[in-house]
Structure 1
Amino acid sequence: MRTYGPRFLAVMLLVSAAGAHGSPVTRTSPSLSVAAIAQSATAASTPAEKTFSNEELDQMMAQVALYPDSLLAQVLMASTYPGDVADAVKWSKAHPDAKGEAAVKQVANEAWDPSVQSLVAFPQLLAVLGQDPSWVQKMGDAFLAQPEAVMDSVQRLRRQAEAAGNLKSNEQQKVTTQPAPPPAAGATTTTTQPASQTIVIEPTNPEVVYVPSYNPSVVYGSWAYPSYPPYYYPPPAYYYPGAALFSFGIGVAVGGALWGNCNWGGGDIDIDVDRYNNFNSNRQINRGDNTWRHNAANRDGVPYRDRASREQYGRQLDGAGQRDQYRGRDGARTADRDRARQSMEQRGIQPPAASNREAQQRAGQASRDIAQQPRSRDQASARQGRTGDAQRPSQSNAQARQGSRDAYSGSRAAQDNNAFSGSRNPSQSRSNASRGHGSYQSSQRPSSSRGGGRPVSRPSRGGGGARRR
């Protein structure tokens, strides 16, 4: 009896249902109809993967949702390269006076993605992103896996801040509303009812950008998800003097450092190609590349969170080899370094640390060794003395060994002579034996007849050379 799989049975049920309701079924090409129905059934039975829920998205986006659109777009792009962001944070800390367009030009030769290079114009922003690298990576993963959902989250948060009276136009920013564009073809909505308006935030002066600072727990009013409180990473106080609810620090003259903008209708980021090429002279793009695309070669091996992103970006894209050359990576130079490291290990020389963690461990071990030296000063002196003895000239050692052999040979010869000396004089040997026998008999007499009560000493029969009294 032939058995059928569950998918085949599902297809047949759909075909039967279509016939029962009078739906036309193509008879001329039955295989095509069945295949189309099977594809529909498979798509319906396989729900789309949802990496983050709305609650999680609002939680992670609350910190940056009220940034100007151009700066928000730069943050979203850069967050997909968390390793480069971490490097930019370190660079900014090492160059505290660098900001604006001048700072971005200083890192033009760094092997970071251009979106990350633009962020060094805002040291106060990098101070926020540097507080939680895992948050930065989650934000980037969310934007790669669910770009439309991330955009919806930002608009949802902006409407909450506006309803609470905390999002308004002022000297630093301009807040406007626009009719919400229709959803893109194939896009999935994350809310029960699509929003009727889109809130846009722009700098009052396009050449000067202010990074706002606010407490998400307050500025959005009553938080809708108590189980998912918003992330809050306050920047250093010297960037924002005062304690206003919604503060703006010193404006940053960005020039051409910002070249992206949020495309609210398409759920992606638009690129101003002319602005990008004028600023990134060593990384030109084609005029048709006006939509941002993630470059997996700049990911630096950081794993992707969702399956779709792993399949799309998991393999190195074209141009990764060129990026290695840009970083100064060369196969021949790598082989030379490996050979040099092996040679050092064979000679007992410790190779350089392979990571910061290993270097810190070595430094800690060295500190512990130094701390233990004063406590073992006497032991060190004793070891030094023994070492000095061990390092005497080899000639002295040879003389000592020869003296020991001579003494042993002399003692052995004396023993041999004593053992066989009686064989050459039998009468003398008998006389010695008689004298010894007489001494033994006298030792057996009472002490009063032997020595007038004087103590007598004799060699002990036990070992060790002790004397018994």
Structure 2
Amino acid sequence: MHIHPSVQMWLLLLALSGAALSPIRAAEVSSSQASEQVFSAQELDQMLAPLALYPDALLAQVLMAATYPGDVADAASWSMEHPDASGDDAVHQVSEQPWDPSVQSLVAFPAVLATLGQDPSWVQKVGDAFLAQPDAVMDSVQRLRRQAQEAGNLKSDDKQKVIQQPTQEVTQSGGSSEQTIIIESADPQVVYVPTYNPNVVYGTWAYPSYPPVYYPPPAGSYFGSALVTGLGFAAGVAVIDSLWGDCDWGRGDVDIDVNRYNNINTNRQLNVNENNWKHNAVNRDGVPYRDRASREQYGQRLANSEQREALRGRDTARTADRESARKSLEQRGFESPATSNRQARERAQTANREMRDPAQARQPSRDQARSTPQARQQARQQHSASRNTPDNAFAGARSPNRERASQQRGQASRAAASRPQAARTSGRAVSRPAMASSRGGARGGRR
């Protein structure tokens, strides 16, 4: 089949343009993906360093709670005001607080809230990272745990168990690429909260530009040898149901033990199949989301969104009552409220004029007169009468002399009045009729 040379040239240019645009399109896609990254790996390691060595169940609870930074700050203040409250009993004491259940569970561990309460902005960043990049957060925790293990500061003892198991990611050779490090409490019903200096426990920090922050324990707290080796533990906390979350390292999210959750949260029950944690945007309390995806996912899907009018103080029943009252006032002769700013200004100006001129106040204003039914009816009648006798532009066309005389009426008088006095006296004298005598004869004559 023969193809015209111009067609061949067009096909060649099309192929070349496609080949040239494909790298550009790929670069645009990669750039778009990079722009969606909220935090880099270095930033994640920096912010998660104070938390990565928590037991898995406690870490899951902290990650969930961090998505509600305002509630965490309130819970930290409550814990400071109730220093003797801990364990399941403390969680029961805050059951009526409007906090998310994940935040309520943290009052069982005063040492955790003492750390989180030192830097609310850091807590918010941790929560934003967990919402936007849950997989990256889990990867960061595993990186940090491996660093602490290689530095010799993460091992099993009488307070915790450190377990290694193959990850679910499989390499091309068939073996797992790295080990997943799991941290559990040595006693399932007693939790020891670790405290440590991230600048010591992880060995040489890999990112000098992103050094971790150390949040020291409150004064007077006992944390064993934390100041010597960089790792210590608070006093053990006996819990049964306060920890109902756990890290799912394979899927990068948090699992929920529904039975424990329902035992401790008697007024916020879950169904059996609700065993995966989901962020509740209502408990966010208006704290803005950092990334666009979270804003689109949670910002526009608040629970009970159909009741926003009531939440803003707009009650439908109250509005109907106000409308009924307004109509009742109008029927009784009272002026209805202004419906616009312009009408309100006009009424205010009228009131000011009436206050300055009491006599004028006794007369209805032009706007009020215009608004009465009688005035409107009278205006319509006048308009109708004027329409019955419309002006005729050709009036006087059939009698031009009469029209000209009508137009020139008075011109002679105006001209005479405008002449000088001398000109007026030099003319013919004005003759007046002689007044008749009262006797009937001529003036000065005799009978």
- TM-score bracket, shorter-length normalisation: 0.5 to 0.7
Tell me the CA shift for residue 288 of structure 1: 1.4
Residues 80 and 140 of structure 1 are in contact (CA less than 8 Å); yes or no, is this contact kept in structure 2? Answer: yes
Match of 1:47 among 24, 33, 40: 33
Match of 1:228 among 210, 221, 225: 210
Indicate yes or no: 2:133 matched with 1:133. no
Residues 391-431 of structure 1, C-alpha deviation per residue, up to 9 Å, x if partnerless?
xxxxxxxxxxxxxxxxxxxxxxxxxxxxxxxxxxxxxxxxx
Match of 2:282 among 281, 286, 297: 297
Residues 316-374 of structure 1, C-alpha deviation per residue, up to 9 Å, x if partnerless?
4224789999xx99877xx9xxxxxxxxxxxxxxxxxxxxxxxxxxxxxxxxxxxxxxx
1:351-370 mapped onto 2 (5 Å cutoff)? none
Distance (Å, rounded) in 2 between the aligned partners of 1:323 and 1:224: 49
Indicate yes or no: 2:256 matched with 1:271. yes
Q: Which residue matches 2:272?
A: 287
Match of 2:53 among 53, 62, 66: 66
Distance (Å, rounded) in 1 between the aligned partners of 2:308 and 2:166: 42
One-letter identity of the residue aligned with 1:86:
A
Residues 66 and 123 of structure 2 are in contact (CA less than 8 Å); yes or no, is this contact kept in structure 1? Answer: yes
One-letter identity of the residue aligned with 2:187:
N
How many percent identity over aligned positions?
Answer: 66
Residues 180 and 197 of structure 1 are in contact (CA less than 8 Å); yes or no, is this contact kept in structure 2? Answer: yes
Are the structure 2 counterparts of residues 222 and 323 from structure 1 closer, same or farther at C-alpha, using a change threshold of 3 Å?
Answer: farther
Distance (Å, rounded) in 2 between the aligned partners of 1:155 and 1:297: 31
Residues 203-254 of structure 1, C-alpha deviation per residue, up to 9 Å, x if partnerless?
0111110000110000000000111110110111433254432111210012
Scaled by the length of structure 2, the TM-score of the pair is: 0.61
Q: Which residue matches 2:148?
A: 161
Distance (Å, rounded) in 1 between the aligned partners of 2:240 and 2:71: 22
One-letter identity of the residue aligned with 2:98:
A
Distance (Å, rounded) in 1 between the aligned partners of 2:309 and 2:161: 42
Are the structure 2 counterparts of residues 262 and 321 from structure 1 closer, same or farther at C-alpha, using a change threshold of 3 Å?
Answer: farther
Give 4+ residue runs of structure 1 displaced > 3 Å after superposition. 12-18, 39-46, 241-244, 319-325, 328-332
1:426-441 mapped onto 2 (5 Å cutoff)? none
Q: Which residue matches 1:215?
A: 197
One-letter identity of the residue aligned with 2:103:
V
Match of 1:83 among 62, 67, 70: 70
Tell me the CA shift for residue 15 of structure 1: 9.9
Distance (Å, rounded) in 2 between the aligned partners of 1:204 and 1:314: 41
Are the structure 2 counterparts of residues 307 and 14 from structure 1 closer, same or farther at C-alpha, using a change threshold of 3 Å?
Answer: farther
Distance (Å, rounded) in 1 between the aligned partners of 2:306 and 2:108: 29
Q: Which residue matches 1:405?
A: none
Corresponding residue SS for 1:257: coil
Corresponding residue SS for 1:213: strand
> Gapped runs of 5+ residues in structure 2?
1-10, 319-447
What is the Cα-based RMSD across aligned positions, in Å? 3.1
Distance (Å, rounded) in 2 between the aligned partners of 1:281 and 1:321: 27
Corresponding residue SS for 2:103: helix
Distance (Å, rounded) in 2 between the aligned partners of 1:139 and 1:65: 12
Tell me the CA shift for residue 124 of structure 1: 1.1
Q: Which residue matches 2:105?
A: 118
Indicate yes or no: 2:232 matched with 1:247. yes
Distance (Å, rounded) in 2 between the aligned partners of 1:14 and 1:303: 47
One-letter identity of the residue aligned with 1:285:
L
Are the structure 2 counterparts of residues 322 and 207 from structure 1 closer, same or farther at C-alpha, using a change threshold of 3 Å?
Answer: farther
Are the structure 2 counterparts of residues 241 and 203 from structure 1 closer, same or farther at C-alpha, using a change threshold of 3 Å?
Answer: closer
Scaled by the length of structure 1, the TM-score of the pair is: 0.58
Q: Which residue matches 1:142?
A: 129
Residues 91 and 264 of structure 2 are in contact (CA less than 8 Å); yes or no, is this contact kept in structure 1? Answer: no
Residues 70 and 259 of structure 1 are in contact (CA less than 8 Å); yes or no, is this contact kept in structure 2? Answer: yes
Are the structure 2 counterparts of residues 251 and 43 from structure 1 closer, same or farther at C-alpha, using a change threshold of 3 Å?
Answer: same
1:410-425 mapped onto 2 (5 Å cutoff)? none
Q: Tell me how many residue pairs correspond in the alignment.
A: 295
> Gapped runs of 5+ residues in structure 1?
1-8, 19-38, 184-192, 336-469
